[in-house]
Structure 1
Amino acid sequence: METFVLAGGCFWCLDAAYRSLEGVESVVSGYTGGATAHPSYEQVCTGATGHAEAVKVTFDPEVIPADVILDAFFTMHDPRQLNHQGADTGTQYRSAMFPADDAQRELFEAARDRAADIWDAPVGRTEGTVVTTIEPLGDYYDAEEYHQDFFAKNPNQGYCLAVALPKVNKVRARFAEYVR
């Protein structure tokens, strides 16, 4: 098993998309990249803790390759948006990767490079560069229980229907051979 810690906007979206893929053994929504010990959701939402909403994705690389996990990450969010995804704004919604070691850092850098080829800025514009950071993996704090598998527990909730579902469908379409 291998575990990646990734942040790409609201963790509900990443959680839902990863849970739909074969070989993903667990997804835990949480907080990392900040300075406050054991932050609450309310604290993280202020942006004052420095944490990002993130997911800890544990997967079997014999079933789903690491590159697919990482390419799915760059499919389910827009890595060109600095400190926000859609209407979710603040550093807690940043696009970031948190490698556990040098080998993961190399995989993450290669995935970010691949994403830059896909997410280039439109001709004639300079904005659009991939802004995903690669940050040291510090302490990871599990989010409150009601955030875990939020999409499955709340399939008719407005945010799930309007924001999470399109991202899940995009991942399912691009990585159909890995869908459960």
Structure 2
Amino acid sequence: MPTDTAILAGGCFWCVEAIYDDLQGVTAVESGYIGGCTTNPTYKDICGGDTGHAEAILVRFDPAVVSYEDLLDIFFHIHDPTTLNRQGNDVGTQYRSAIFPLDDAQRAVAEVAIVKAGALWPDPVVTTIESGTWYPAEDYHQEYYARTGDTTSYCNFVVGPKVRKFREKYADRLKPRD
């Protein structure tokens, strides 16, 4: 099966990872860091916002099932792209809204998607298009919501509601559940 890759930053990677894990056509999602100046950053490094990295996800997907354009459309519906360096109570450059295209074709699609997103939101979209080196997050961040569910307060109050809202709105696009 041919796959393509997308890298997106839309706040806490636990939230975004959990949503894309549910989407038909997505074959894998990895949480990580991108867009900063430190080599091999750790979660502790990026938490202060000093490294310039964003919490992000790397999405592997089957373009015959879900397009890059579809991934970006969903991206602009699942987070607030109008708040600079924050998503809800998560504040700092590591929580910025950014797209990291991997080639010129993805960059062109991202530019159009940002313009289209401007029509969805009452405030200006501040999502940036950036480049950078991908660094996987520590193992304990991978599939965090899938492993913990709503057992932690953050997941109960932040991740869970976002995931449930996504599942309701995109019920026809979800992977079959066991």
Deviates more, 1:63-72 or 1:30-39: 63-72
TM-score, normalised relative to structure 2 = 0.93
Indicate the SS of the match to 1:92.
helix
CA deviation map 1:97-121 (0-9, x unaligned):
001111000111111112111112x
Q: 1:60-79, aligned counterparts within 5 Å? A: 60-79=62-81
* Unmatched runs of 5 consecutive residues or more in structure 1: 121-127
Map of 1:129 onto structure 2? 124
> Could you tell me which of 54, 58, 80 is aligned with 1:56?
58
Map of 2:42 onto structure 1? 40
1:14 & 1:92 partners in 2: Cα distance? 14
1:93 & 1:162 partners in 2: Cα distance? 17
Map of 1:125 onto structure 2? none
1:39 & 1:3 partners in 2: Cα distance? 21
Indicate the SS of the match to 1:18.
helix
Map of 2:92 onto structure 1? 90
Is 2:135 the partner of 1:141? yes
CA deviation map 1:56-80 (0-9, x unaligned):
0110011122222111111111000
Q: 1:99-178, aligned counterparts within 5 Å? A: 99-120=101-122, 128-136=123-131, 138-155=132-149, 156-178=151-173
CA deviation map 1:130-157 (0-9, x unaligned):
0000012x21000000000000111121
Q: Over aligned residues, Cα RMSD in angstroms?
A: 1.0
1:146 & 1:73 partners in 2: Cα distance? 24
